[in-house]
Homo-oligomer: A and B are copies of this chain.
Amino acid sequence: MRKYLNPKKKDWDELLKRPMNRTSELKDKVSGVLEDIRINGEVAVRKYSKMFDRSAPAEIAVSCDEIEESVKLISEDLKNAINLAAKNIRKFHETQRQTYTKTETVKGVVCWQKAVPIQKVGLYIPGGTAPLFSTVLMLGIPAKIAGCKKIILCTPPDSEGNINPAILFAAKVAGITDIFKVGGAQAIGAMAYGAGKIPRINKIFGPGNQYVMTAKQLISLYDVAVDMPAGPSEVAVMADKDSDPEFIASDLLSQAEHGPDSQVLLVTNDESIVDKTELEIEKQLSMLSRKDIAAKSLSHSVAIVLDSEEKMADIINEYAPEHLIISMNDYQKMSEKIVNAGSVFLGKYSPESAGDYASGTNHTLPTNGWAHAYSGINLDSFIKKITFQEISEEGIKNLGPVIETMAEAEHLGAHKNAVTIRLNKIKKQ
């Protein structure tokens, strides 16, 4: 870790800089794939599955039998864990339902919002060695609670055309049965434009490699909504003299093992905790299976020592971490100062991995500074709020003249006329 002692505020920006790839090389390639799928549908999807994933099963829809079979293939222990995690995620996301009331803004003018589920959503789950079944729960459960009518899941099969049973089991627990064996940019294209059995959907969720992310970016401009912009995963830990270096090290490492581009940040008002944490990191690192990845990520990580809690909060708010662990004595007080973060973990017994899997909060969170403006995935992500208004004869009489005046001042005569015509007819009655 690079260590900075009381860096000046004007240097924070430079010091917190994330690696940023603005090149568009990938864009042309992915753009071609998407355009091909838009025009040629299923045939194009199969072509790219063969080309990129070397696996394009004749039947891409997962059968009920395959889903049932998955139940037998995973341990009781894992099944129980997935079930409990699902229960917590469901419980927390269910609290996110809101109530809406009608408001009479002016006598005879009643306005309200109504939450309506996004009708058709698509979830993307990457393949690879580590099956991200936890993400199936994090996306599928709130989609179900929101009441989305159609929820499909795309994930690449292995070379034998199978999907990891833990992914199928998690889907079953979440209540998702429309599962397709397609991955990569071609899966995003298929969901954006429809292709064979894969229906065109309204919003796409989920992580993926750079091809998937570029495809999501491109379709979000013209065709289909996406959950949020992408970036490498991050954690920031805030520590003071009472923090436990062993815990801090384990939290930093759990982020660092995600990938060599993972971002890890330690902010403290006690310099000695940095040194102690570094010693602990070395100790723990050697025992990790993904130590090479973690070491690479740690090599560009940063520890910052600041002389006040105020500055600690300021620098975190400037960075806007995806995950923030406040491992300080008075974590409550510090947490009240935090305005930019994805998900915040309070106290020494709240590791990030609790939220990654099972506490109930969502793990799909804004990275790359997007926590300045984005929420993590929550029930809102699967609904839209439609506004309604009902205006009575009395209402338009009360409000009409105001509308006429404003429409005229904006030079929109027909807007005015839509009111005048109604007011005149009322007068004539």
Contact = CB atoms under 8 A, between A and B. Distances in A.
Interface of A: 20, 22, 74, 77-78, 80-82, 84-85, 87-88, 91-92, 95-96, 98, 101, 103, 105-106, 109, 111, 113, 116-120, 129-134, 166, 202-203, 217, 220-222, 224-225, 229, 244, 246-247, 250-251, 253-254, 256-258, 284, 287-290, 294, 317, 335, 338-362, 370-376, 378, 380, 384-393, 395-396, 399, 401-403, 405-407, 409-419, 421-422, 425
A132 B344 contact: no
A372 B344 CA distance: 31
Contacts of A409: 74, 78, 81, 131, 133, 166
Nearest to A338: B386
Given A385-B378, A386-B342, A416-B353, A359 B410 contact: no
A315 B225 CA distance: 21
Nearest to A226: B373
A411 B129 contact: yes
Contacts of A410: 130-134
A131 B288 CA distance: 62
A393 B103 contact: no
A247 to B, nearest CB: 6
Contacts of A132: 410
Contact of A403 (B166, B344, B354): B354
Given A129-B411, A284-B414, A353-B419, 13 more contacts: A78-B406, A81-B406, A92-B103, A109-B354, A117-B339, A130-B412, A225-B370, A247-B418, A253-B414, A254-B412, A347-B391, A351-B419, A371-B386
Contacts of A225: 370, 372-374
Contacts of A105: 87-88, 91-92, 359-360
A6 to B, nearest CB: 24
A88 B101 contact: no
A351 B390 contact: no
A361 B111 CA distance: 7
Contact of A222 (B22, B91, B130, B354): B22
A372 B339 contact: no
A86 B81 CA distance: 52
Contacts of A111: 92, 359-361
Contact of A289 (B101, B290, B343, B411): B411
B129 A421 contact: no
Contact of A407 (B106, B117, B357, B385): B357
A342 B250 CA distance: 47
Nearest to A406: B357
Nearest to A293: B414
A140 to B, nearest CB: 15
Contact of A395 (B284, B349, B405): B349
A389 B202 CA distance: 31
A220 B216 CA distance: 13
Which of the listed residues A342, A390, A419 has the most CB atoms from chain B within 10 Å of its own CB? A390
A362 B389 CA distance: 11
B109 A88 contact: yes
Contact of A372 (B88, B119, B253): B119
Contacts of A414: 250, 253-254, 256-257, 284, 288, 290, 294
Given A202-B372, A343-B386, A410-B133, A257 B415 contact: yes
